[in-house]
């Protein structure tokens, strides 16, 4: 009986520690394929961030809802605007952005004043290609092909093992 208890205890300890040498873990390519497939099948995705180009600070908040809705809020230096795409049609909000798109300064100020903070659209507005996040092959090519040079397992983030 004592041997059985010792063997059971040893088996529990080994199981709790996981298999050695990475056995039983998904390969890096399996993780990448799973991540790409899950992102491509997601009903919604949100990405927020900031970056600086030259001396201009950019802040963005992008929300995508399948199958064809995207909302992008951007602050570009002191200029803030929003773009909303619904089923291939683009709408904008932000008189400063409108003013920046018109070459004649007088016309730009007048039109921006009339539009104010309302949504507007343009026949020249081109739909955003969302296939970069809805096509698993493009997700892998755009986001995962260059990041898999080093893998670290069992990293703790906010108290949770990854």
Higher pLDDT, 123 or 133: 123
What are the tens digits of pLDDT across the range 110-121? 999 999 889 999
Higher pLDDT, 60 or 6: 60
Higher pLDDT, 114 or 14: 114
Q: Which pLDDT value is given to residue 45?
A: 84
Read off the pLDDT of each residue in 132-136 and give the average, rounded to a whole number.
77
Read off the pLDDT of each residue in 134-157 and give the average, rounded to a whole number.
73
What are the tens digits of pLDDT across the range 62-107? 898 888 888 999 999 889 999 999 988 999 999 898 888 888 999 9
Report the mean per-residue pLDDT for the chain: 79
Read off the pLDDT of each residue in 122-136 and give the average, rounded to a whole number.
81
Minimal CA–CA distance to 56: which of 82, 28, 75?
A: 75
Q: Does the global pTM surpass 0.75?
A: no
Two tokens at 78? 């002191």
1-15, 20-34, 45-59: the lowest-pLDDT one: 1-15
Read off the pLDDT of each residue in 7-30 and give the average, rounded to a whole number.
57
Query: For the chain, what are the domain ranges?
Result: 28-148
Q: How confident is the model at residue 23 (pLDDT cuts 50, 70, 90)?
A: low
Give DSSP secondary structure letters for the chain. -HHHHHHHHHHHHHHHH--GGGTTSPPHHHHHHHHHHHHHH-SEEEEEEEEEETTEEEEEEEEEETTTEEEEEEEETTEEEEEEEETTEEEEE-HHHHHHH-SSHHHHHHHHHHHTTSEE--TTPPPP-THHHH-HHHHIIIIITTTTT----S-EETTEE-
Distance (Å, whole) CA 39 – CA 59: 23
Q: Which pLDDT value is given to residue 149?
A: 61
């Amino acid at each position: 009986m004592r041997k059985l208890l010792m063997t059971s205890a040893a088996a529990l300890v080994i199981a709790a520690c996981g298999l050695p040498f990475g056995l039983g873990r998904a390969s890096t390519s399996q993780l990448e394929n799973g991540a790409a497939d899950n992102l491509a099948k997601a009903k919604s995705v949100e990405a927020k961030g900031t970056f600086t180009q030259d001396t201009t600070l950019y802040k963005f908040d992008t929300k995508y809802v399948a199958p064809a809705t995207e909302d992008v809020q951007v602050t570009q230096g002191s200029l803030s605007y929003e773009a909303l795409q619904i089923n291939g049609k683009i709408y904008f909000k932000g008189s400063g952005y409108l003013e920046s798109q018109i070459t004649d300064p007088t016309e730009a100020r007048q039109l921006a004043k009339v539009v104010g903070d309302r949504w507007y659209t343009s026949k020249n507005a081109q739909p955003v290609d969302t296939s970069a996040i809805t096509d698993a092959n493009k997700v892998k090519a755009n986001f995962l092909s260059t990041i898999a040079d080093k893998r670290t397992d069992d990293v703790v983030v906010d108290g949770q093992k990854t």
